[in-house]
């Protein structure tokens, strides 16, 4: 009788479970569950891409994306004024980084799940992505390819966490090797802005061990927050000189800045 009850329960629950999954998600596979949501946000129609029950990308009817993406777009396209450059994005999300305007830059997106392009084009963007897409692991890509880039944007979140293999010194070094001289690396890190916990501090330690010249911008100063690291691969990275009372060349160095303007 117990075996019979189990069999009947499985027969009844299996179709319900499959039906519920199809109603809730656009796609489920070995990598993720994908859900698309369309609703008004501050009276603006906005689409949201949910992956593994975490909101991974948004795009409104004016083609504006999540706050941190808009900050990175402003840095890359306005402040750094990158045009007609080669840009690599690690972690496709909703492919929103290039969707509003490419500024004639050539975009390549890397993501481990090949299904993300179809889901995004059909239900999130509802248009073709702007750029090329390669479905592979980022570490494998860097090990196999010799392409260099003018900017690499590393944003490889899985739910709320960056995969541990993409937080190591070796990963950052391989990424740096694929930058052109004077090229930029941009990292989106969700951590404590004052580095008060071991995770936040050690990510900063690891990044700083590889990229010596970085600026950091936190979206807010309550933890956790998106912290945007903007780093450049340039020729003075090994300059370790510091100003002291006994050896202070700051005035001379400052004049050089003025001369170079």
pLDDT tens digit sequence for 161-199: 899 999 999 999 999 999 999 999 999 999 999 999 999
- Specify whether the CB–CB gap between 57 and 72 falls below 8 A: no
Burial class (CB in 10 A: 0-12, 13-18, 19+), 26: middle
155 contacts: CB under 8 Å, gap ≥ 6 = 89, 90, 91, 93, 187, 188
Q: How far apart are CA 246 and CA 250, in angstroms?
A: 12
User: What is the reported pLDDT for 4?
Assistant: 63
pLDDT tens digits, 6-59? 565 555 544 544 444 444 445 676 667 889 998 888 888 999 999 888 888 999
Q: Which of 95-99, 175-179, 209-213, 256-260 is the least confident region?
A: 256-260
Over residues 200-248, the pLDDT tens digits come to 999 999 999 999 999 999 999 999 999 999 999 998 888 888 999 999 8
pTM, two decimals, is 0.86
Q: Which DSSP helix (H) or strand (E) runs through 165?
A: none
Backbone angles phi, psi at 83, to 5 degrees: -140, 140
pLDDT at 231: 97
pLDDT (0 to 100) of residue 5: 60
Q: Which domains does the chain have, with CATH numbers?
A: 65-232 (3.40.50.150)
157-167 per-position pLDDT tens digit: 876 789 999 99
Q: What sign for the dihedral angle of Cα 137, 143, 147, 151? A: positive
pLDDT tens for residues 63-82? 999 999 999 999 999 999 99
pLDDT over 50 at 258, yes or no: yes
CA end-to-end span of the chain, whole Å?
Answer: 86
The angle, 0 to 180 degrees and rounded to 10, between the axes of the packed helices 169-177 and 198-210 is: 30
Q: What is the pLDDT of residue 232?
A: 96
Per-residue model confidence (pLDDT) at position 146: 85
DSSP state of 168: S
251 vs 257, more confident: 251
222 burial level (CB within 10 Å; 0-12, 13-18, 19+): exposed
């Amino acid at each position: 009788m117990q075996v019979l009850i189990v069999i009947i329960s499985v027969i009844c629950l299996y179709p319900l479970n499959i039906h519920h999954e199809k109603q809730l998600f656009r796609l489920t596979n070995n990598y993720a569950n994908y859900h698309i949501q369309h609703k008004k946000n501050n009276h603006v129609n906005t689409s949201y891409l949910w992956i593994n029950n975490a909101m991974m990308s948004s795009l409104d009817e004016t083609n504006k994306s999540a706050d941190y993406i808009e900050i990175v777009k402003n840095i890359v396209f306005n402040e750094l004024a990158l045009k007609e450059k080669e840009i690599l994005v690690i972690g496709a999300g909703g492919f929103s980084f290039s969707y509003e305007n490419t500024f004639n830059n050539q975009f390549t997106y890397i993501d481990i799940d090949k299904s993300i392009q179809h889901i995004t084009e059909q239900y999130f963007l509802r248009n073709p992505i702007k750029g090329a897409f390669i479905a592979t692991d980022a570490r494998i890509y860097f090990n196999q390819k010799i392409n260099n880039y003018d900017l690499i944007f590393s944003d490889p979140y899985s739910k709320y966490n960056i995969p541990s293999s993409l937080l190591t010194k070796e990963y950052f070094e391989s990424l740096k090797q694929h930058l052109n001289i004077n090229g930029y690396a941009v990292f989106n890190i969700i951590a404590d802005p004052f580095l008060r916990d071991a995770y936040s501090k050690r990510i900063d330690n690891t990044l700083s061990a590889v990229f010596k010249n970085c600026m950091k911008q936190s979206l807010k100063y309550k933890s956790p927050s998106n912290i945007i690291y903007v780093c450049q691969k340039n020729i003075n990275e090994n300059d370790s000189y510091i100003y002291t009372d006994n050896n202070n060349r700051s005035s001379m160095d400052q004049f050089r800045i003025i001369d170079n303007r």
